[in-house]
Structure 1
Amino acid sequence: MSHRAVLSGGHGGPAPHARSHFPGLGRPRTGTEPLTAYSALGARLVLSSIALPLFAAGAALLALWAASARSSGSPSTAVLVVLAAVCAVFTAVAAIDIAVIRRRRAERR
C-alpha cells in the first residue's frame, strides 16, 4: 500500500482536506498533524494580555505627546498621530484576540 493510500484511509484517493470557515482555504493533510490540533490558546492569551495594556498605554502617551508637540518639533505631530493610531489598532487586535480565545475555551467545555 502506498504512503498516499495510508493517509487517505486506504482507498487510494486524495487525502482529506482540513475544514476551514472560508471555502478554498483548507490545506491538504500531510498526515503529520493531529486531527484535533488546537492552537496554543494559553500562549496567545498571555501575549495578548501583555500587549493590550502596553499598546493602550502607548496609544494614550503618544496621543498626549502629539497634542502637546510643536508643529516644527521633531518628531512631527503627524508622525506621533500615526504611531498612536498604530498602537490603537494593536490594542484592538489584542482585545479581539482575548475575546476569541475566551469563546474558544468556552466551546471546549
Structure 2
Amino acid sequence: MLDFERAPVGPPEWDLVSTAIAMTTTGAVTPAEYAEFCGADGTDVTEWEGYELLAGAHELRMTTYAAQHAATRPEWRAEAQYRVDCLRGRAEPRPWHWKRIM
C-alpha cells in the first residue's frame, strides 16, 4: 500500500500555497528559502489573486487539525488555542510560528 495523501492532484496553486504559508504563517521557511523555492518553481503563488483564499483554507485546516488532536491530548491545547487566536486577530502579526502537531 502507498500513501497518496501528498500526491498533487488538482490545481497546482493548492500545493504551492502549502510552501508559501510555511513562510507567511508558520515561519518554518525563511524568506530566502521561499525565494529559492520560487526561483526553482518559476512561480510565486503569493502574487496570485486567489492566494488569500487558499491560504485561509489551509490555515483553517491546520487549526482544526490542532483542535481535533487537542481534544484528547492536553499538551496540544495551548497550540490549538493559539492558532484560533491567530485566525481571530488576537495574536501578533504574521508569521505566527505555529508549532508542529504530531
State if a TM-score over 0.5 links the two structures. no
TM-score (norm 1): 0.29
Q: Which of these two proteins has the greater Rg computed from alpha carbons?
A: 1
Higher relative contact order (CA 8 A, sep 6+): 2
